[in-house]
Amino acid sequence: MTSYSVRMSGYGQPPGQPYYQQQQPTHGAPAYAQQPAYQHASPGRVQAGGPPPGADPTLWSWFVAVDQDRSGQISADELRQALTNSNWSYFNPETCRLMINIFDRDHSGTINFQEFCGLWQYLQQWRATFDSFDTDRSGNIDQRELQTAFQRLGYSLSPNFTRLVLSRFDTQGHRALKLDDFIQCCVLLHMLTDSFRARDTQKRGVIQINYEDFMTMTILGKP
């Protein structure tokens, strides 16, 4: 099978847990609660029996509100109906699927309350990170801000690559990324970098890879 030599110069050391995860989580309303995103649920409504022992009652009430079919699990579609960007648009479906997959430990395609708590904290950290790079407070990350974000997150990437990423993940056509676009972009970049690093055993920034392996890495983002 044909092999290809791929060079990825200076891909840095993307942290296993990004630097912003070292911060304390923001308490209070979750990211999606900062704007009224609920259509058919009340965040104060709690299922019979109340929250599990030791659970945060506020998080439990949000979990119940998002769990519209009362299954005890939250799907990507349900999550999307609860999350909004600063311009009131709902999160894009792919970002919601990515986040569900990250916290879906039992591979059910949905998340339970415990997994939801992890996702809630994850969202708070992403919003704090997004806000730290949105230096002009526009509610979007433009090319200059995205280039800075990549550098701060440990990636040595060219401005040309940043422009390419921006054109790929900009879902609003404004040459800027909303919060959901930014999360999707950074998560996929991290996954692909992990896949590359797993193959770059000599840490030279160069790998040799066959065609199917390359396709698996780029499509699935897996080592």
In tens digits, what is the pLDDT along the chain, a chain of 223 residues? Answer: 444 444 444 444 443 443 333 333 333 333 333 332 333 334 444 454 577 888 888 899 999 999 999 999 999 999 998 899 988 999 999 999 999 999 999 889 999 999 999 999 999 999 999 999 999 999 999 999 999 999 998 888 899 999 999 999 998 888 899 999 999 999 988 888 888 888 888 888 888 888 888 888 777 655 5
H helix intervals, the chain: 57-66, 76-80, 93-103, 113-133, 143-152, 159-169, 179-199, 211-220
pLDDT of res. 215: 84
Give the chain's domains with CATH numbers: 3-220 (1.10.238.10)
Residue whose C-alpha is closest to residue 200's, from 15, 18, 10, 16: 10
